[in-house]
Amino acid sequence: MAVSLSDFTSPGAGAAAVALITYLLTRPRMRAEARKLEAESERTRAETAKLLAESATQPTSDAGSSDLPKGWRLTGARPEDYDFGLDSQVHRSGTASAYIRARPNAREFGSLVQSFRADDYVGKRVKLSTVMRAKNVAGYAAMWLRVDAGESSVAFENTQSESRRLSGTSGWVRREIVLEVPPEGEKIVFGAFLSGDGCVWIDSFVFEVVGDDVPLTKEPEQAPQTHPVNLDFTQGVN
């Protein structure tokens, strides 16, 4: 059947054509936005996975580790993008602090790490605390504590949440983690890390066994909803 020009210029056909053209023009943008959201979500999942799986067990040859504190080693997704060492001028107690400083165009994160056997701590509640100081941190700095059993992590917590991380410039700030060491725990791993530009100093870690009266610091997981809510979007924002 032949189609005349008037078929496209009629009101109904014109509206349909406009709708079709609008859809075709906006579809690539919608796809791009969806890919961007998916990439951001994947990056967040990847950062957490990298912390859970210690990605390096020995100092990286390209990292600035000539002044690495005794008993500590380097890890992280990109330890070669960071300098590590001791600072005898900036410290809160003792004679020095450890620092992590980003090199130009630093990627991912770099971390100071230490580990030891969990034998004396299984079944107990432990607390790791320290004081940290930040300067021009564009991303964030945080501390972390993990318990491993073989190749798996059986307990893990860090302070990279919005309310506990360090960013920008700050004086000495106390941070702590309290968690329970599961009976199957074999190794305890802990440290501090920097993600992005800037510098962070870490002064005097303290690791101790505490009683059950000391509350756990892990933020509680949100309970799953039992029914749908705000289906008409009239209840504002969180």
Find the domain containing 164 and state its range: 57-210
Same domain, 41 and 64: no
Same domain, 21 and 132: no
CATH number at residue 137: 2.60.120.260
Same domain, 44 and 137: no
* Predicted confidence band of residue 40 (pLDDT cuts 50, 70, 90): low
* pLDDT value for 190: 95
Same domain, 18 and 111: no
Among 200, 128, 193, 120, residue whose Cα is nearest residue 168: 200
Residue matched to tokens 């307990």: 155
Q: What is the mean pLDDT of the chain?
A: 79
Instruction: Report if residue 222 sits inside a domain.
Output: no
Instruction: Report if residue 2 sits inside a domain.
Output: no
* pLDDT value for 41: 53
| Counted domains in the chain | 2
Same domain, 19 and 130: no
Same domain, 90 and 24: no
Strand 125-149 with 152-158, pairing: antiparallel
Is residue 105 over pLDDT 70?
Answer: yes
Is residue 6 over pLDDT 50?
Answer: no
Instruction: Report if residue 15 sits inside a domain.
Output: yes
163-221: pLDDT as tens digits: 899 999 999 999 999 999 999 999 999 999 999 999 999 998 999 999 999 999 987 66
* pLDDT value for 10: 52
109-165: pLDDT as tens digits: 988 999 999 999 999 999 999 999 999 999 999 999 999 999 889 999 999 888 899
Is residue 64 over pLDDT 70?
Answer: no
Same domain, 75 and 133: yes
Same domain, 19 and 77: no
Q: What are the residues facing 26 on neighbouring strands?
A: none
* pLDDT value for 225: 75
Same domain, 18 and 72: no
88-103: pLDDT as tens digits: 888 888 888 999 999 9
For every residue of 133-187, DSSP letters joined together read EEEEEEEEEEEEEEEEETTEEEEEEES-STTT-EEEEEEEEEEEEEEE--TT--E
